[in-house]
Amino acid sequence: MAMTLTSELPADAPIVGPEVTLTTLSEEVSSRVLMSRTPLWWWIGFGISVALLLVLVVQMAVLFIVGIGVWGVNIPVAWGLAIAEYVWWIALASGGTIVSALFFLTRSPWRSATNRIAESMLLSAAPCAGLMPIMHLGRPGLFYWLFPYSNVMGVWPQVRSPLWWDFICLLCYILMSIMYYYAGILPDLATVRDLASTRAKKIFYGILALGWRGSVAEWQNQRIVYAIMSAIMAPMVISVHSVVGLDFAAGLTPGWHDTQFPPYFFFGAVISGTALIVMLTILVRWGYSLQDLLTEYHFNAMAKVMLVGSLMLAYAYVWEAFGPLYTSDVAERTEFFHRAFGFTAPLFWSEKILTVVVPQLLWFPAVRRNQLLLLLISGGVIIGMWQERVVFTTASLEHNYMPSYWGYYFPTLWDWATLAGTIGLFLTLFFLFLRFAPIISLAEVREIIEEEKSK
Amino acid sequence: MTKLFGVAAEFASPDAVRTAAEDLRQSGFRAFEAYTPYPVEGLDRIIHPGPKPLLPLLMFAAAVLGAAWGYWIQYWGEALNYPINVGGRPYNSWPAFMVGTFEFMLLVTIAAGFVGMLAASGLPRLYHPIFEAKAFERASRDRFVLCLEAADPLFDATAVRSRFERLGAERIDEVRA
């Protein structure tokens, strides 16, 4: 063990490669946006993503024509894969905000090169989350009735319902994330504009950059607003995911009616969101050969965040078991035994292994250094979190208070099509971000380079 | 003859541009601006030493207004316009309104900050004379540009040029207005 412990990265390990300078940084990253020939891997990835997106289109058409009976949801299990995946996607999106906002506030230097990937991921995942409840509405065309606008019907949404809180949280979250993203990317768009060689690209990025000049006054305003925005986004993301937890906690169903749900959900967001960022960062780094910008330092830091997430989640799991075992509530206990040893047991135990046991490997520096292992561990965490969301959504409904009311949930082909389709939507959006926006935060990495130089 | 907007000089390092800006400030110049690829430490105190923009205050005011708006929307819908009695709960059930109030507050704050940031910087402004300067080309990448504007009462193109040369500028341009 001693060997692995001493091979820990030194505290002053380089954050970016020593050969990266201000000049090469801007040209490297901008050339990924401005290149005239898109690399083959991008076309292959984008093609697969669009194919999956078409699955979503077909699935939604069938769903809207036939009704949500095409899914496996029925009474007693009226919430199935779609709602579980809603929670799953919003957790993945939240991870982007956590890395971007929370670690901006703590001035973590590793955050600068990864935050754009995290934010692109967030903006790609949030629409997937938003689609789920809308698809789940019996009459999806009327979803706008949830907006608090003064309509001629004189009917208002029931704002005392946690489901409305959820809607308003997600809506505000997406809008705020777009503004947060844009405030951060504005200076980088100006760099791309100044490097563009063709007229069309100059005009396109010129308009997007809004005429940013990088004057002292502009930087002053941007920095102060961006800092306050980060300070707002951090509690915001905690509130969004906590309110998703409240949807369940406010229900009286055994297994859901638990005060730990808001933090429990947030812990899940920390680990699964970071896991997705690790995966995407490894792939982007490999695809765009950004080895100098995304170094061991970044993966080391992100793996540690993932490890902390898994420990927090382990705490939530212990409580998830302790509550039902300690309580005198028979239904609560029966439901837990069903969850852990009944129909959902395989999912339940494999999820614990994937999200808590396997990530313990990250204690070893050698594992944190190994990209392939990181990729596998984070992939496992994402799958494990999906299982976790499915288990708590369906297991509780399967074993409600009355034994006469018990039942089982089996996903249908269309349930799986929903999952595949939203993955397609996510990947399509992410590939577009990858191709058309600078994927590394230039302005912030420049500061890191200058700091490294003076070190 | 077209009027001059100013004289722009390109510097290679953040220290050089800081020294140059300090020199201009001490020689009594007022209308000058620096264009840098990232916020250079200390430059803002030299170039804009006056009071800082009131953006944090604006965002705070927006937060208060947003919270009031969010609460009012819910109160009006639930207690005034369309009261529904659900299990005898109060119409104005403020604990249930807190989430909506909170989210509206944050949304309005971020929106105010975003719009305020653009407005305070005079954006969007797709054209600016400084874009014509040769020296500006690399200001968004790896060079630091200082531009003394013709609006300054002490402005004199030739004197400024020699001053920039003395300060170690790598390239000096006259920027047409």
For residue A7, pLDDT beyond 90: no
DSSP per position, A52-100 = HHHHHHHHHHHHHHH-GGGSS--SS----HHHHHHHHHHHHHHHHHIII
Q: What is the pLDDT of residues B63-90, one digit of tens each?
A: 999 999 999 999 988 888 888 888 888 8
| CB-based burial label for A441 (10 Å; 0-12, 13-18, 19+) | buried
pLDDT band at A289 (very low <50, low <70, confident <90, very high): confident
Tell me what the mean pLDDT of segment B135-142 comes to: 82
Residues 105-124 of A with CB under 8 A from B: none
A176 vs B33, B40, B107: nearest CB: B107
Q: What is the pLDDT of residues A112-139, one digit of tens each?
A: 888 889 999 999 999 999 999 899 988 8
B142 vs A26, A218, A443: nearest CB: A26
**What DSSP state is assigned to residue A440?**
S
Beta bridge partners of B146: B9, B34
Report the alpha-carbon distance of residue A43 to residue A39 in Å, rounded.
7
In angstroms, the separation between the Cα of residue A215 and the nearest Cα of chain B is: 4
Angle at B38 between CA B34 and CA B39, to 5 degrees: 65
- Note whether A225 contacts B128, CB cutoff 8 Å: no
In angstroms, the separation between the Cα of residue B129 and the nearest Cα of chain A is: 11
Determine the residue of chain B that is closest to A211 in CA distance.
Answer: B126
Cβ of B88 under 8 Å from any chain A Cβ?
no
Ranges of H-type helices in A102-215:
103-105, 111-136, 162-195, 199-208
Predicted pLDDT of residue A8: 67
Interface A–B counts its CB contacts (< 8 A) at: 184
Report the alpha-carbon distance of residue B88 to residue A201 in Å, rounded.
61
Selected for mutation to probe chain A from B36, B93, B132, B140 (highest A CB count within 10 Å) is B140
Tell me what the mean pLDDT of segment A302-331 comes to: 91
- Note whether B38 contacts A444, CB cutoff 8 Å: yes
In angstroms, the separation between the Cα of residue A169 and the nearest Cα of chain B is: 6
Q: Which chain B residues touch A443 with a CB distance below 8 Å?
A: 37-39
Predicted pLDDT of residue A427: 94
> CA separation (Å) from A228 to A86, A186, A188, A224, B55?
29, 16, 20, 6, 10
- Note whether B82 contacts A156, CB cutoff 8 Å: yes
Predicted pLDDT of residue B87: 83
- Note whether B43 contacts A216, CB cutoff 8 Å: yes
The sheet that has B144-149: what strands, in order across it?
A: B32-35, B144-149, B4-11, B171-176
- Percentage helix, strand, coil, to 5, in chain B? 50, 15, 35
Q: Which chain B residues touch A243 with a CB distance below 8 Å?
A: 99
* Single-letter residue type at A339: R
In angstroms, the separation between the Cα of residue A289 and the nearest Cα of chain B is: 20
Q: What is the pLDDT of residues B155-177, one digit of tens each?
A: 777 877 888 888 877 788 877 77
pLDDT band at A2 (very low <50, low <70, confident <90, very high): very low
A250: its two tokens: 């406010």
Cβ of B114 under 8 Å from any chain A Cβ?
yes
Are A296 and A9 in contact, with CB atoms under 8 Å apart? yes
- What does pLDDT average to over chain A? 88
Cβ of A31 under 8 Å from any chain B Cβ?
no
pLDDT band at B127 (very low <50, low <70, confident <90, very high): confident
> CA separation (Å) from A370 to A237, A271, A279, A296, A374?
30, 19, 12, 9, 6
Residues 145-174 of B with CB under 8 A from A: none
Selected for mutation to probe chain B from A213, A237, A444 (highest B CB count within 10 Å) is A213
Residues 386-445 of A with CB under 8 A from B: 442-444
Determine the residue of chain B that is closest to A22 in CA distance.
Answer: B142
Are A333 and A324 in contact, with CB atoms under 8 Å apart? yes
Question: Among residues A234, A316, A311, A273, which one has the least CA distance to residue A91?
Answer: A273
A122: its two tokens: 């967030």
Predicted pLDDT of residue B2: 66
Ranges of H-type helices in A196-259:
199-208, 216-249
- Note whether B53 contacts A221, CB cutoff 8 Å: yes
Selected for mutation to probe chain A from B117, B126, B132, B148 (highest A CB count within 10 Å) is B117
Predicted pLDDT of residue B13: 84
For residue B31, pLDDT beyond 50: yes
Q: Which chain B residues touch A211 with a CB distance below 8 Å?
A: 123-128
Q: What percentage of chain A reaches a pLDDT higher than 70?
A: 97
A314: its two tokens: 């382990």
First to last CA, chain B: 11
- Note whether A183 contacts B141, CB cutoff 8 Å: no
10 Å Cβ neighbour count for B172?
18
Higher per-residue confidence, A414 vs A197: A414
Q: How would you classify residue A232: left for phi > 0, otherwise alpha for psi between -120 and 50, otherwise beta?
A: alpha
Cβ of A154 under 8 Å from any chain B Cβ?
yes
Determine the residue of chain A that is closest to B53 in CA distance.
Answer: A221
Q: Which chain A residues touch B33 with a CB distance below 8 Å?
A: 215-217
pLDDT band at A310 (very low <50, low <70, confident <90, very high): very high
Are B63 and B109 in contact, with CB atoms under 8 Å apart? yes
For residue A196, pLDDT beyond 90: no
Cβ of A194 under 8 Å from any chain B Cβ?
yes
Cβ of B14 under 8 Å from any chain A Cβ?
yes
Report the alpha-carbon distance of residue A400 to residue B54 in Å, rounded.
55
- Note whether A165 contacts B139, CB cutoff 8 Å: no
Q: What percentage of chain B reaches a pLDDT higher than 70?
A: 99
- What does pLDDT average to over chain B? 85
Selected for mutation to probe chain B from A21, A151, A160 (highest B CB count within 10 Å) is A160
Q: Which chain B residues touch A165 with a CB distance below 8 Å?
A: 99-100, 103
Predicted pLDDT of residue A1: 38
B141 vs A165, A191, A232: nearest CB: A191
Predicted pLDDT of residue A455: 67
Cβ of A58 under 8 Å from any chain B Cβ?
no
Query: Crossing angle for the helix pair A162-195 and A81-97, nearest 10 degrees?
Result: 50
- Note whether B141 contacts A22, CB cutoff 8 Å: yes
Q: What is the pLDDT of residues B91-118, one digit of tens each?
A: 888 888 999 999 999 999 999 999 999 9
